[in-house]
Amino acid sequence: MNGTNLMMIDFSDNSLQGRVPKSLANCVKLKFRNLGDNQITDVFPSWLGTLPELEVLILKFNNFHGEIEEPQTGFEFPKLRIIDLSHNRFTGNLPSKHFHCWNAMKDIRASKLTYLQVKLVPYDVLGFTYYGYADYSLIMSNKGTEIEYPKLSNLIAAIILSDNNFVGEIPTSIASLKGLRTLNLSNNNLRGYIPLTLSNLTVIESLDLSSNKLTGQIPQC
């Protein structure tokens, strides 16, 4: 695939198999990518981190597996705001060094409210040429409750890594993502204490750490 002008790819809710084609790295304008609810078998496509405009990455309900590689340059996924890797077979530690790279999630408030949109091809009706934009929409689920976002504003930041086999401790680097609204790490094999630094997530609206093996005390809010 060499769609250098592609801004959105949505192949969700199909029966797609095989691996994610690396030719998608040519889609340098890509902002939204949804491959959720398929039968894709692959490791985490870290090479997508080179896409400079990617904001939304949905890979939920597939057969992705293995450990998530550490970033190579420290500049991977610079504009990523929503990532959903839930219901796969990922293993190893949480990708703590990736959290350092996700700069778009570090902003608590945007200076201007915007929405993720794609410009439509102009079309003619009765001799008049119309121009417009289409809004990206997304459904995110949490504990069986589906929340539909008919528009994706630049205020939404979410990390959903639930229902995998991640191990180890919750990295303190998550606390640097101060713009997070949703963090779901439930149904893994995480151990250790809940980091006190999570109290730095001052705009968090949904925090789910259930069904792990965490110990210690609940941090102060």
Single out the residue of 87, 41, 93 nearest to residue 67, CA to CA: 93
Q: Determine the average pLDDT of the residues in 57-73.
A: 93
* pLDDT the model gives residue 119: 52
How does residue 16 score in pLDDT terms, banded at 50, 70 and 90? very high
d(CA 180, CA 204): 6
d(CA 80, CA 150): 19
How does residue 220 score in pLDDT terms, banded at 50, 70 and 90? confident
Give the type of residue at 181.
R
How does residue 50 score in pLDDT terms, banded at 50, 70 and 90? very high
- 8 is written with which tokens? 């959105």
Phi-psi region of 31 (alpha: psi -120 to 50; beta: other; left: phi over 0): alpha
Q: Are 63 and 37 in contact (CB under 8 A)?
A: no
* pLDDT the model gives residue 131: 46
- 157 is written with which tokens? 């930041």
CATH class held by domain 8-215: alpha beta
Residue 117 has pLDDT above 80, yes or no: no
Q: Determine the average pLDDT of the residues in 109-127.
A: 55
Domain boundaries along the sequence of the chain:
8-215
Single out the residue of 112, 111, 108 nearest to residue 178, CA to CA: 108
